[in-house]
Structure 1
Amino acid sequence: MSDFVDGFWGYYVGSIAVLGIIWCLWLIFSQRKWLGSRTVKVEDTGHVWDGNLRELNNPVPRWWTIMYVGMCIFGLGYLILYPGLGFYAGKLGYTTQQEIQQDQSAHDAAVKPVFAKYAAMDIPAIAADKDAQVIGQRLFLNNCAQCHGSDARGSKSFPNLVEGDSMYGREPAVIQETITNGRNGVMPGFKESMSPQVAGDIAQYVRSMSGLASDSIRAIRGKREYQNFCVACHGAEGKGNKALGAPNLTDDVWLYGSSENEIVNGILNGRNNRMPAQAQKLTPEQIRMLTAWVWGLTGGKDVASSTTNVAK
């Protein structure tokens, strides 16, 4: 709360907090004139029901008033020690970020012995260990399933990790690099330099390279345009380029779908897929364990050279 970027809100929150406590104290003392008196007169409201049920205005017990004032004092003390007054960080310098880091450090120390026995093992050996598989799967479910699905088969715009395709390769080192630092796959859009008709012809050619039904005449035109716009990244044969993260266009793996409309949309508007880095979230030991589990999904086999066609 002490990290406001706008000066107004810091003062606003601080004043609301202090004035709120002051108002509570004013309210109790302004309405309780009998606080200083040991004799409390009970007020009769004059309301009577059923002949003898009389309504009285009894003041709350003294212990309740003391507790009420005590809580107000406690609130002021809390605001002095902890952040709550806008820009003021509190005497103790407490932050939730610091608490999370301490909890994370304690957790890492507690689980360190669990990962210690895997430190000297290579990725394939870890992938073959049954206990490591359980740990890796739990790490995946907690950190990766939100995008790739609990079965790791992905969904539209999220790669399938089971089929074995990968734009960057399936080598353990590559998977570990991907998990650690993330990826940002970008395909530029060409809507400023080509018409939808030309993009449609290229889409027909891309479909033909994947063995899908296509219009042969349009595919011939699309091949010519492919040489002008796409060959630099995807290669003359459409096999892609792992160094660039350019997908293989000859397989039958589609991240966005194989329809002409989806392919045209990718060509004209481009794609920008980002996988967030996990280095700040997971320890190196956890990343190695997760790497082994992902690598082991296909037995380490790289079925093809692409996770998806970028226009797919």
Structure 2
Amino acid sequence: MSDFFSSAWSWYVAIATVAALIFCLAMLIIASRRKVVPGVDDNSTGHVWDEDLRELNNPLPRWWMVLFVLTIVFAAVYLFAYPGLGSAKGSLSWSSAGEYQAEQAAARQEMSVVYAKFSGKPFEQLAHDASAMAIGERLFANNCAGCHGSDAKGSKGFPNLTDSDWLYGGSPEAIVETITKGRNGVMPPMAAAVGTAEDVRNVANYVLSLSGSPHNAIAAQLGKAKFGACAACHGPTGGGNQALGAPNLRDKIWLHGWGEDAVIAMINQGKNNQMPAHGTRLNPEQIQLLGAYVWSLSQSKLVAANGQ
């Protein structure tokens, strides 16, 4: 907010708040001085309905005045103790952010007992622990399912976590790093490096041919030589590079769409795909259980074999 508002706004809010309280108090004092002597003062406002129904201007009831004064006193005490006068923090230095952090710390402390029994255990062992997988599944539903789907099979632009195709590697260490730090996969637009629009089309068909997908064989043969512009990341044979997060072009897994048009669009426009880091949302124990759950999704056969 500091990028949009100067400190003058803080002073404006503080002055307006104090002025409103003073105004309310002044109005109460003025109203309390009003006295009406029965039989002497004409306490009518001059408004008459149905010939004999007059609107009176009686003083405020004392109980109402007392309650109003108490609300002003309460407001003054509140503003002294809590933030409310512009950017002033109040004598208690309370904040919603601090309250949230305290609640999170208390929750972590309470859950530390639960996570303690899983600490230090390898993924292979955690994958056979029903209670560990139950926690991992709930963590996945709360933090990952929004992008990867409740079944973890992903969708266009969001990787399928149940297959064996890992952009950055499927080892326990790589999965933990991905969850903790996030990933930012960038493919720059390559049309200028490839050549003409016809060259781009030929390269797209060559890429399709690497996985045995339907393609134009003649165009693919012409595009083979131009594929050198892509080999720096995807490798000379199109096998990908997990160190860079470059996809394997030899399988039939198409993260951002399949077919000649989709590949041409990727070459022309590039792609910037980002997975956010969860290291600030989840503690290391949670990341360990979540990572073990994600790892188990693509290791179902191994997990089943080791569990027998």
Band the TM-score falls in, shorter-chain normalisation: 0.7 to 0.9
Residue number in structure 2 paired with 1:187: 187
CA contact (8 A) 2:170 2:295 kept: yes
Aligned: 1:24 with 2:17: no
| Change beyond 3 A, Cα 1:94–1:220 | same
Aligned: 1:216 with 2:217: yes
User: In 2, distance between residues paired with 1:14 and 1:261?
Assistant: 59
Q: For 1:1-312, what aligned pairs fall within 5 Å after superposition?
A: 6-30=6-30, 32=31, 34-35=32-33, 37=35, 43=44, 46-49=47-50, 56-57=56-57, 60-193=60-193, 194-227=195-228, 229-299=229-299
Asked which structure has the greater RCO (Cα within 8 Å, sep 6+), the reply is: 1
CA contact (8 A) 2:136 2:290 kept: yes
User: In 1, distance between residues paired with 2:53 and 2:198?
Assistant: 89
User: In 2, distance between residues paired with 1:179 and 1:130?
Assistant: 22
The one-letter code matched in structure 2 to 1:219 is: A
| Change beyond 3 A, Cα 1:271–1:16 | farther
CA contact (8 A) 2:36 2:58 kept: no
Deviations 1:55-79 (A, max 9, x none): 5555543222222232223223222
TM-score norm. by structure 2 comes to 0.86
Give the C-alpha shift of residue 22 in structure 1.
3.1
Give the C-alpha shift of residue 119 in structure 1.
1.3
User: In 1, distance between residues paired with 2:83 and 2:69?
Assistant: 22
Give the C-alpha shift of residue 190 in structure 1.
2.4
Give the C-alpha shift of residue 26 in structure 1.
3.9
User: In 2, distance between residues paired with 1:215 and 1:69?
Assistant: 85
Give the C-alpha shift of residue 196 in structure 1.
3.6
Identical positions, percent: 43
Deviations 1:46-100 (A, max 9, x none): 4334x87665555543222222232223223222222222232222222222211
Q: What are structure 2's unaligned runs of at least 5 residues?
A: 303-308
CA contact (8 A) 1:233 1:241 kept: yes
CA contact (8 A) 1:196 1:264 kept: no
The one-letter code matched in structure 2 to 1:182 is: G
| Alignment RMSD | 2.7
Mark the structure with the bigger radius of gyration: 2
